[in-house]
Structure 1
Amino acid sequence: MSKAAVSPSAASALPDPEPARTSLYAHAALNSRPVALVYRMLALAVILTGVIRHSDVLTGAPNWTTLLFYTMVSNLLCLVWMILLIVRTARDLRQTGPRGTSTPSARGSGAVMMAITVTMLIYLVVLVPTRFADGDSDIFSLTDNLIHIITPLLMIVDWLVFVPKGSFRWIDPLLWTLIPYAYLVWAFVYGSLGGEFTPGQKYPYPFMDVDALGVSGVAQWVVALTLALVVVGLVFVAIDRALGVLSRRSVRR
């Protein structure tokens, strides 16, 4: 007896084949939403702690001038982005299961990561030496470490471990400079209109002090810092593309 051909209607009634299981190490270094969710909730708590301590919100005499500085702006950006990551991870965990990655945008994660990396680099390269020279003994306090070093590292680790790789473009480092440049423009305009970042100080950071350095001195600092940040950004892109190749090979296996 010959095998009867299966009609389209009969074929449609057959159960769907079991969906392919996402590899734990495909797409990102670790494709585990429960682990990502726990990490991101802990990271949010740490970032929020730094913001609260830096702004003195719980002391009863909050220092709202901290909101004028790039450090706080970049930390608040990380805070908002981490909340979005948590919401996306929790939603995806509930709807599609524990395996996979969850981020609103891999390139968005890169932009936020670079924005806070600027904070860390300027703190370590520019502000710490200046404060040492001025005799400041409160360098590397808990609050300083939280907002200048720990939060940047938390964002970098989140990108390295939980964000899918291979989406960065070589033009991205230049695009990432738009965030600090937007702050620079705003800060110069704010100071020129009479705004003060601290009493008697119309520049938020020493390298922006036109009165002390002159226009050419400030321009040299801005150019040097821009070149340094673009180089760091290119390193991030190179890592992203290399890990993207590895993740695609993992998927094909």
Structure 2
Amino acid sequence: MRRDGLPRARRLGGRAVAARPRALPRRRRRPGATLNVAPAAASGTRVAESPRTPLFAHAALNSRPVALVYRIIALAVIVTGVVRHSDVLTGAPNGTTLLFYTMVSNLLCLVWVALLVVRTARDLREAGASGTSTPSPRASGAVMMAITVTMLIYLVVLVPARFADGDSDVFSLTDNLIHIITPLLVIVDWLIFVPKGAFRWVDPLLWTLIPYAYLVWAFVYGALGGEFTPGQKYPYPFMDVDVLGVGGVAQWIVALTLALIVVGLVFVVIDRTLAALARRIPRR
């Protein structure tokens, strides 16, 4: 070996023959191994997809133009529901609607979808049309659960109670917008445009913290003399301690909590199943 690190020439049959440089060992690739980009996508990191990436990689539609159009429409629908429910256009806005979980969860969805629109538009401009855009797939699960609570309580608790009271205007346009359509828009957005594989089994318990935070606030607000409607210190019938008693309210809360956890686990199962199916898609 020469001082400069190059191999010395060796003599063969009286002739000087330059020694071949030793080839570096080739790195073996495990059979079936593929480039795994799912963790980056699942963490919310912006992923620039190559032209050969499957359209539904990560179990999400990798088309930012389609996602942007959908999210702009969803944002407009959510804003319409919030405006109609708060009576802003009538000239006599009802500020008490802000005290109810329905409005709180709809405003949360409004902010979230607005963030999705901004993020998708920015990524479309900077990273191109192919790819997914979301601040955080796990955060999308929390928002989805928060608004799912609104839909479930409306359909399971409020609608039967209003029918029992003789209310014939249950499924009005405004009610449908804030209780049914907005939840479905958020769920469909997650189902189609958000990368899968990020949810954890513990997430459904964490997602219940949002409705529980409202529950604690509502009880404290009523106990301090606050009213949600004139003469009513409880926002929803299942929270009325004066009528149901502490035990009755506790039973309702436990039952609803179990229902929400079950729904959350269904979301996790769907998330993991779609992620597993997406990993089986051959990448060319």
Q: Same fold (TM over 0.5)?
A: yes
User: Contact 1:88–1:104 at 8 Å: present in 2 too?
Assistant: yes
- Residue 138 of structure 2: aligned partner: 107
Please say which of residues 57-66 and 26-35 is displaced more in the overlay. 26-35
- Residue 16 of structure 1: aligned partner: none
User: Contact 1:55–1:62 at 8 Å: present in 2 too?
Assistant: yes
- Residue 172 of structure 1: aligned partner: 203
1:89 aligns with 2:120: yes
* Match of residue 136, structure 1, among 162, 167, 179: 167
- Residue 45 of structure 1: aligned partner: 76
For 1:65-90, what per-residue CA distance to the aligned partner results, in whole angstroms no more than 9, with x for missing partners?
A: 00000000000000000000001000
- Residue 229 of structure 1: aligned partner: 260
User: Contact 1:191–1:202 at 8 Å: present in 2 too?
Assistant: yes
* Match of residue 92, structure 2, among 52, 61, 85: 61
- Residue 276 of structure 2: aligned partner: 245
Post-superposition shift, 1:251? 6.0
Q: What stretches of structure 1 move > 3 A for 4+ residues in a row? A: none
Give the distance between the partners of 1:199 and 1:234, measured in 2 at CA: 38
Question: Max radius of gyration: which structure?
Answer: 2
Please, which runs of 5 or more residues in structure 2 have no aligned partner?
1-20, 22-49
- Residue 186 of structure 1: aligned partner: 217
User: Contact 1:188–1:203 at 8 Å: present in 2 too?
Assistant: yes
- Residue 58 of structure 2: aligned partner: 27
* Match of residue 124, structure 1, among 133, 151, 155: 155
Say what the alpha-carbon RMSD is for the aligned residues: 1.4
Identical columns (%): 84
TM score, norm. by length of structure 1: 0.91
- Residue 12 of structure 1: aligned partner: none
Give the distance between the partners of 1:219 and 1:252, measured in 2 at CA: 52
Which structure: greater helix fraction?
A: 1
Post-superposition shift, 1:30? 1.1
User: Contact 2:52–2:283 at 8 Å: present in 1 too?
Assistant: no
Please, which runs of 5 or more residues in structure 1 have no aligned partner?
6-18
Q: Which letter does structure 1 place at the counterpart of 2:250?
A: A
Post-superposition shift, 1:252? 4.3
1:2-17 alignment to 2 at 5 Å?
none
Task: Kindly tell me the number of residue pairs found equivalent between the two proteins.
Answer: 237
TM score, norm. by length of structure 2: 0.81
Q: Could you say what secondary structure the match of 2:167 adopts? A: coil
Give the distance between the partners of 2:79 and 2:268, measured in 1 at CA: 28
